[in-house]
Structure 1
Amino acid sequence: MKTMKIGNICAEAGEKSSGYVKVKGTDIELPVTVICGEKEGKTVFISGGVHNAEYVGIQTAIEIADEILPSKLTGNLIILHLMNRTGFEHRTMSLVYEDGKNLNREFPGSDQGTVADKICHTVVTEFQKNADYYIDLHCGDGYEELIPYVYCVGAAAPEVVHKARQMAELVNVPYLVQSPCVSGGSYNYAGSCGIPSILIERGCMGRWSKEEVELGKQDVRNVLRYLGVLEGNVSQRTYNPVDVGNVIYKNAEHSGCWYPTKKVGYTFKNGEVLGEVKDYFGNVLETCVAEMNGILLYQVGSLCIIKGGPMVAYGENPNEK
């Protein structure tokens, strides 16, 4: 009988076990569920709350952990409900409370660094090392609005990229982005280590709904069914995601007030104004101009914008290809 062990949480074949895994070198304990199928197979790691105000992903992880039964699995699930727990409990948006770092910029981390580095190191050494596949659940942060889309790893071995892309194509969103990064993000680093990995974006602006969580759970189940880990057939979807290439991520050069001119999911032409940053007297500090024909994936949705922080992300309009 196979035993799945993460930290001090153990599950035998046919068992589900939940508890807390300690971040090495800290007092932080992360909520985790391990589900060990009755039949042996591949192991899928699912994480929520890399960014702690991305509530759709967190709630999706919580409900998936509660609802999936060991009797339905050929293989195992490792579900990390909330990666940035202290940020969640202090409402720090994207950042770890203790050091102000963004977890999704720090992977693979270090056991000798600050708290964020240690969280990343623990995720790599306790969770990713046991995974054959990885699904990372995100949404727009507390100040971001976005159109649902999915990332898959692109900077990895060809067979890893191919498998990750097949996983991403099962997600019920209109758009797909293949990432060129090998580190920084949790799923990027996992991909560089040979784990086919995707990141799902659904929901935004510090809100969550039952409808969004239901769609998120459907995504997870469809990917698990495709991988042969969860019994059942892939359910019907509204979308087959299409590629958005050459994504541009623009950060603000000034702090101030942000006035976008487009809505997420809208298309635009090269040279169009996407928004302005103004000071507190209404003077324009910065104008964001599109550098190509594109489609807007996400943007800051709050009045406040911060120097060096996100402003917009957009890519090639797939309808023009």
Structure 2
Amino acid sequence: MQTVKVGNMSARTGEKVSGYVQVKGMDIELPVTIICGDKEGKTVFISGGVHNAEYVGIQTAIEIASEISPSQLTGNLIILHLMNRTGFEHRTMSLVYEDGKNLNREFPGSEQGTVADKICHTVVTEFQRNADYYIDLHCGDGYEELIPYVYCVGVADPEVAHKSREMAEMVNVAYLVQSPCGSGGAYNYAGSCGIPSILIERGCMGRWSKEEVKLGKEDIRNVLRYLGVLEGDVSERTYHPVDVGIVIYKNAAHTGCWYPTKRAGDTFKKGEILGQVKDYFGNVLESCIAEMDGILLYHVGSLCVIKGGSMVAYGENVNQQ
């Protein structure tokens, strides 16, 4: 008989338990499901809502928690449906309501910090400490248009990075990015601690659909089947993700109106204009010029762009070379 414990919640072999785990030192409670398999095995941590306006990931976590039963598992699932709950309930796009911080820049957090720091600290000490593997569910922010793709950890022991890549290759998306960071993000930090981890990007622009959630759930099931945690064989996929190589993230130098010239998924050549920021009279304040041949992973899809905020992210397109 095994017991999986997270905060004040616990589940024993063959049990599924849903409830709330309190953020340490706060009144905030996070919605969680623990599924303790009929057979013992590895534990997979799945999280949605690190960014609270990324609704596809949140709904995917909610539905996968409802649909998987202990009898299907050799191992355990810990599913955090919504990490940034106060941001979700105050519709703050993807920032923590109380302090305006981006959770995915604050890991591993701190017990003595602000609300965002304490959320991150709780996730590390209560959730990640139980995990053998980690799947973080994201999508484009409320103002970002993107193509589906997957990240895997890169700053980690070679064995951890290799396992993370194998997990990412089970996701039904065209492109894979290996992260050059070992902290800040939830999955980056987990990888640096020896937990093979991936981040899935699917959906965008503050919307969600049943089809996107269905694809997201199949992504999770395929990774779990590959890991031997969920019964069944890996299903057929449309894509087998390939590396995009170097990724460039460009932030705006001005606040103003954003006029993209490309859409997410478009390819382009070095020197092409990817978009422009203009003032409220139509005067060009800056142009975003491609620094290499590449493919556009995501870009701002709203008219508003904010100084210091993202304009585009693009990577090397190996299919062009």
Do they superpose with TM above 0.5?
yes
Partners of 2:94 and 2:76 in 1: CA distance: 29
Measure, in 2, the Cα distance between the counterparts of 1:111 and 1:258.
Answer: 39
Q: Which residue of 2 aligns with 1:204?
A: 204
Q: Report Cα offsets for 1:171-207 as digits up to 9, x if no partner.
A: 0000000001000000000000000000000000000
Can you list the C-alpha shifts for 1:107-139, whole angstroms capped at 9, x where unaligned? Answer: 000000000000000000000000000000000
**What residue is the counterpart of 1:130 in the other structure?**
130
Deviations 1:228-287 (A, max 9, x none): 000001110000001001100001111110000001101100000000001111111111
Aligned to 2:245: 245
What are the residue-to-residue correspondences of 1:225-264 with 2, within 5 Å?
Answer: 225-264=225-264
Alignment deviations for residues 66-101 of structure 1 (CA, whole Å, 9 cap, x no partner): 000000000000000000000000111110000000
How does the TM-score come out when normalised to structure 1? 1.00
How many angstroms apart in 1 are the aligned matches of 2:26 and 2:283?
46
How many correspondences in the alignment?
Answer: 321
Matched residue, 2:316:
316
Q: 2:235 aligns to what SS in structure 1?
A: coil
Cross-structure match for 1:219: 219
SS of residue paired to 1:46: strand
Runs of 4+ in 1 over 3 A off after TM superposition: none
Q: Does 1:281 align with 2:281?
A: yes
CA distance in 2, matches of 1:22, 1:306: 34
Match of 1:6 in 2: 6
Unaligned stretches of 5+ residues in structure 2? none
| Alpha-carbon offset, residue 317 of structure 1 | 1.0
Q: Deviations over 1:20-77 (max 9, x none)?
A: 0000111100000000001100000000000000000000000000000000000000
* Residue identity opposite 1:30 in structure 2: L
The residue identity in structure 1 corresponding to 2:81 is H
1:86 alignment partner in structure 2: 86
Deviations 1:115-172 (A, max 9, x none): 0000000000000000000000000000000000000000000000000000000000
1:320 Cα deviation from its structure 2 partner: 2.4
Match of 2:50 in 1: 50
Q: Which amino acid in 2 is paired with 1:54?
A: E
Alignment of 1:27-38 (within 5 A): 27-38=27-38
Distance 2:213 2:195 in 1: 25
**In 1, Cα distance between the equivalents of 2:268 and 2:259?**
17
- Aligned-pair identity in percent equals 84
Q: Distance in 1 between matches of 2:180 and 2:288?
A: 24
The match for 1:180 is 180
AA aligned opposite 1:269: K
Aligned pair 1:291/2:291, yes or no? yes
Q: Give the superposed CA RMSD.
A: 0.5
**What amino acid is aligned across from residue 79 of structure 1 in structure 2?**
I
Instruction: Give unpaired runs (5+ residues) of structure 1.
Output: none
SS of equivalent residue, structure 2 residue 152:
strand
